[in-house]
Structure 1
Amino acid sequence: MMDIMHSITNTNMRKIIFIILIISFLITGIGGYVIMDMNDYVVKINDTKITSIQLEKIFQDEKEILQQQLGNEFIKVSDNKELLYILRHRALERLIGMTLFKQHSKKLNLNISDEYIKNEIYNMPIFQTNTSFDKDKYKKILSTYHISADQLANEIKQNLINRYISSMYMKDEFILDNEIKQYAKLFLQTREIKSMKLDLKNYLSQQNVTDKEIYEYYSNHKKNFLSPKQVQINYIKLDIKSQLNKIKVTNKEIKDFYKKNITTFSIPEKKNYSMIQLDNIESANLVFKKLLHGESFDKLVLEKSIDKLSAANNGNIGWFDTVSTPHEILAANLTQKGQISKVIKFGKYYVIFRLNDIKEKKIKNFQSVELNILNIIKNQKATDQFHILEKKINNIIINNKISLNNIAKKMGIKLISTKLFDKNRIPKEINFHKLTDIIFNDILLNNNNPVGINSGIIKVDDTTIFIAEIINFKPEIIRSLKDVKNIIINTMQFNKAKISMTNDGNKILSAIKNNDKNILKKFNVHFNDRKIVKRFDQNNFLIDQIFEIPIPVNNIPSYASIQDTNNNLLLIQLIKVIPGIPNNNDLITLSNRYQIILGDIMMESMIHNLRNKAKIVMNASIE
Structure 2
Amino acid sequence: MMDNLRAASNHVVLKIILGLIILSFVLTGVGNYLIGGNSDYAAKVNGHEISRGELEQAFNNERNRQQQMLGDQFSQLAGNDGYMQQMRQQALSQLIDQTLLDQYIKDLHMGISDDQVKQAIFNQRAFQTNGKFDNAKYNGLISSMGFSADQYAEALRKQLSTQQLINAIANTDFMLKNETSKLVDLVSQQREIRQAVIDVNALAAKQSVSDDEISQYYQQHQSSFMAPEQFRVSYIKMDAAGLQETASEADIQAWYDQHKADYSQPQRNRYSVIQTKTEADATAVLDALKKGADFATLAKSTSRDPITARKGGDMGWLEPDTTPDELKSANLTQKGQLSGVIKSSVGFLVARLDDIQPEQVKPLAEVRDAVADKVKQEKAVDAFYKMQQKVSEAASNDNESLAGAAQASGLKVNETSWFTRDDVPADLNFDAVKQAIFNGGLMGQNGAPGNNSDIISVEGDRAFVLRISEHKPEAVKPLDQVKAQIADTLKHDKATQQAKAQADKILADLKAGKADALQAAGLTLSASKSFDRNAQDPVAQSAFNLPQPADNKPSWGVSEDMQGNVVLIALDKVSAGTLPQAQTDEMVKGVTQNNAQIAFEALLENLRKQAKIKYGAAAQNQ
Q: State whether TM-score is above 0.5.
A: no
| Higher-Rg member (1/2) | 2
What TM-score comes out, normalization by structure 2 length? 0.41
What TM-score comes out, normalization by structure 1 length? 0.41
